[in-house]
Amino acid sequence: MAQDSTEGSLKERGVRLTRQRQILLELIDRTGAHLDVDQLYRMAKERDPKINRVTVYRTLKMLKAGGLVDELDLMHYGGDQHYYETRLKQEHAHVVCLRCGRVEEFFGEPLQRLRKQIENHFGFQILVARTEVGGYCAHCQTLRAREIETVRQEPRSVAKPPAGGTRARRAHARPE
């Protein structure tokens, strides 16, 4: 159903959906994930070995311009990498862990409220909204706390160059 509306929307714009374009659109829509160009290229190649990178780039550009796909940088966690995700999902915020790169999606009524407030305040018509939050996930908070603790207990080990890999690791596990 969602697929029909996407294709319909493309047809209205006079965009022809070739088989390869369709493969890419389906991958983005169905996985519902945040995929980078390499991931998309690899997945698409499994379905059609003849697909090439240029087609992937061109199709993404087209889908983005058509408002069918959203391009994200996810707090630049992966450097200059961009990620693509379907616009069929309800608006959500991306919660990115800057340590492990885990991405959570927050769907919540406050986002719709914020959108309304901004529109009312500026008399603005919002077409696209992107909310990104960066920080540390629960797991990484625990790991970081442990790391900081280790550094505190061994202030010298930070300045010293690693003499022997095994020794350094033992010292890490068992502070003297």
Site membership for Zn ion, residue 33 (CB under 5 A): no
Q: Give the CA dihedral 89, 60, 3, 107, nearest 10 degrees.
A: 0
Site membership for Zn ion, residue 36 (CB under 5 A): no
CB distance 154 to 116 below 8 Å: no
69 vs 97 by CB, closer to Zn ion = 97
CB distance 121 to 75 below 8 Å: no
Site membership for Zn ion, residue 97 (CB under 5 A): yes
Pick the stretch among 116-124, 135-143, 144-152, 167-175 that binds Zn ion (CB under 5 A): 135-143
Site membership for Zn ion, residue 140 (CB under 5 A): yes
Kindly state the smallest distance separating residue 25's Cβ from Zn ion, in Å: 16
- What is the phi/psi pair of residue 88, to 5°? -75, -20
Kindly state the smallest distance separating residue 42's Cβ from Zn ion, in Å: 20
Closest to 103 measured CA to CA, from 122, 71, 70, 77: 77
CB distance 63 to 25 below 8 Å: yes
CA 140 – CA 49 distance, rounded (Å): 39
Number of residues that bind Zn ion (CB under 5 A): 8
| Residue from 19, 52, 67, 100 binding Zn ion (CB under 5 A) | 100
Site membership for Zn ion, residue 82 (CB under 5 A): no
User: Which structure tokens are listed for 107?
Assistant: 């769907």
Site membership for Zn ion, residue 133 (CB under 5 A): no
Site membership for Zn ion, residue 105 (CB under 5 A): yes
Site membership for Zn ion, residue 93 (CB under 5 A): no
User: Which structure tokens are listed for 21?
Assistant: 């374009």
Binding site for Zn ion (CB under 5 A): 85, 97, 99-100, 102, 105, 137, 140
